[in-house]
Every structure is written in C-alpha cells, then in structure tokens.
Amino acid sequence: MLLNVQPGFNVIVPSYAFVTTASAFARSGAELRFADIDPVSLCIDPDSVGALIDSSTRAIVPVHYGGMAADIDRLTQLIEVHGDSNIVEDNAHGLFGSHGDSPLGSFGRFSTLSFHETKNFSCGEGGALVINEKRDVARAHTLYDKGTNRAAFLDGRVDRYTWIEQGSSFGMSDLLAAFLLGQIEQRTGVMGRRQKLFTRYHKQLSPLEAGLGIEVPPISETHRSAYHTFYVLVSGEGRRDAVLQELNESGIGAPFHYQPLHRSEGAQPWVKRKFDCPISDSVSNRIIRLPFFDALTDSEFNRVAETLTGALRHTA
C-alpha cells in the first residue's frame, strides 16, 4: 500500500518462498514475477531478477532464507539501474541476523517481520513493518491508523482526527506485544542458544556430506545468521520423502518447506508468463528441516542425528 502498487506494476519475488511473500502484493493488483533462487544460499538469485526486472518493477522482495542474508549488494545494484523499483525485504527469518555490520531488514525501503508461532520470536500471530526511510513515516501512520490522521491529532498538530484515505486496523494488541517484548528483551540468550544448536548440527553433519549424499547450509565469515532453521538438502530423486517418512515414524517432527510459488494455483491470476525456476523445484523436493528449538535436549539432539544418519544410509 505504501508503494502504491497497482495494476500495471510488477513485483519480483522468489518462487521458493511463503505464500504471503507474494500474496501481500497480489492483493494490490500487481503482476507477480517469480525469480529462481541461488542453489547455495537458497535466497533469490540476482541473475534471475536481472532477467525479469523492467521499468514497471515496483518491488523486489528478497527472503533471507533460514536467517542468512540474500545477495543485498547485487540486488541494490539492480535497483540503482531501475530507479522506480525498491527492495522490500521479507525478513520473516532474519531478525537479529546481519549483512556485514548492518542488520538484516535495514537495506530495503521497507522490511517485514513475522511473529508467527514458527518464528524465532513469536506472539502466536503477528508481524511488523519496518520503515527505513523518513519519507514513508507519515503515510504509514495514516494507513496503520485506519486511514485517519490520528497520529497528527495525538501530536497536537490537528484538533480532531478524521478519515483521510484508505487504511486498515494494522495495530498489534497490547497483550500480544507484551508477550513478544519479553522475548525480544531476552534476545541475546535466545540467539546464543540457537547459534549453539545450529553449530552443533553443522559440526555433526558437515563431515558426512559426501558419505550421506547431503548438503548442509553454508556458514558465512562476514554475515551473521539469525539461525532460524537448520536444514539438509538430500541428493537423488524421491529419496527425501523416504527419509522424512522414517523420521516421522520415529516420532521426529522434521518438515519439508515451501512449494514453488510459480506453480501454485493461487498465483496464476497474477502472472502473465511462464517461469522456469529449476532450483526452486529441486530444493522444494530435497529439503528436510530438522527440529530446531531452544529446549531441544542433548539426548533429543543425539536421537535426531542418529535417526537421520540411519535413514540416509538406508536410502542411499
């Protein structure tokens, strides 16, 4: 809404992303263009974006998959060439991660956060819009306040408030915000525990990559992950589902992840061409996310690692 996206504009999102990464823009009538992802970072591939961007592109929406930075530098270069487009970071996975010294979510004109129960910091359902440029603040208040100039009234700039444009009731309830704030105040401890678990999985599984036919997430020297998830990519067609079945039969909740959006039925009214996103297709069929929560005990960790290793050996 703040970008005035409307029919005639297009928005570029990764095919390998959550539904709302795209549907938030479809509701304004934008054409959706689906970019493929990079096979190592699993984030939007700047080359694929480069082939889709044009003068009607209003937004490019990188997801910092799993909490690791997308290629912000190359996306920023693309935006500089196409002056009317903007980066809108879907930072649902990336809160408290960084790209170099700067926090994820601070690069786009806007970034979005999710506090859904699956996220590192949660209040059940909820989210936030981060506004990184002063020029957007006043209108954001209006949209947030049901399309009224209530913010100006509260600041004493007008003597009553009234309806001035379309908006909605976007505020979070105080009760949910209080529940969330308690976690944010403990972010150092939360992030430390998540980093420890990620490192433990990585140490355990990275030496086995070749032997078990898997890939584990990359570790960056320069960017700090938000440690949202730990996944393995299983090699070979159809093998992933057999491994998942074995894990699930042992009582281990290990989910797969996104279904490619360029193939989804819901996207079709908003697309005008065919998209080829082979990496999104392949990752979607090969990914397994491992149990990843603060309270995972040592014995649970060991059971996950042993069951996974066994299942990978059986299906090799």
Ligand X SMILES: Cc1ncc(COP(=O)(O)O)c(C=O)c1O
Contacts of 85 (CB under 8 A, 6+ apart): 53, 57, 58, 59, 60, 78, 79
State the binding string over 115-134 for ligand X (x if CB under 6 A, else -): -x-x--------x-------
Q: 31 or 90: whose CB is closer to ligand X?
A: 90
Give me the least distance between CB of 50 and ligand X, in Å please. 22
Candidate segments 13-21, 67-75, 259-267, 302-310, binder of ligand X by CB under 6 A: 13-21
Give me the least distance between CB of 20 and ligand X, in Å please. 4
State the binding string over 141-170 for ligand X (x if CB under 6 A, else -): ------------------------------
Give me the least distance between CB of 26 and ligand X, in Å please. 14
**90 scored as a contact of ligand X (CB under 6 A):** yes
Distance CA 177, CA 164 (A): 27
**255 scored as a contact of ligand X (CB under 6 A):** no
Give me the least distance between CB of 198 and ligand X, in Å please. 17
Residues constituting the chain: 316
Candidate segments 17-25, 30-38, 143-151, 198-206, binder of ligand X by CB under 6 A: 17-25
> Applying CB under 6 A, what is the total number of residues that bind ligand X?
12
Tokens describing residue 208: 């086995």
Which own/partner contact pairs does 172-179 have at CB distance under 8 Å and 24+ positions apart?
172/123, 172/126, 172/128, 176/115, 176/123, 176/124, 176/125, 176/126, 177/123, 179/123, 179/124
Nearest alpha carbon to residue 138 among 103, 176, 99, 165: 165
- Helix or strand run (H / E) with residue 49: helix 46-52
**63 scored as a contact of ligand X (CB under 6 A):** yes
**17 scored as a contact of ligand X (CB under 6 A):** yes
Distance CA 96, CA 120 (A): 10
- Helix or strand run (H / E) with residue 288: strand 287-289
Among 20, 56, 122, 204, binds ligand X (CB under 6 A): 20
Give me the least distance between CB of 313 and ligand X, in Å please. 31
Contacts of 58 (CB under 8 A, 6+ apart): 3, 5, 9, 10, 11, 30, 84, 85, 86
Q: 66 or 167: whose CB is closer to ligand X?
A: 66
Residues in contact with ligand X by CB under 6 A are: 17-18, 20-21, 63, 90, 92-93, 114, 116, 118, 127
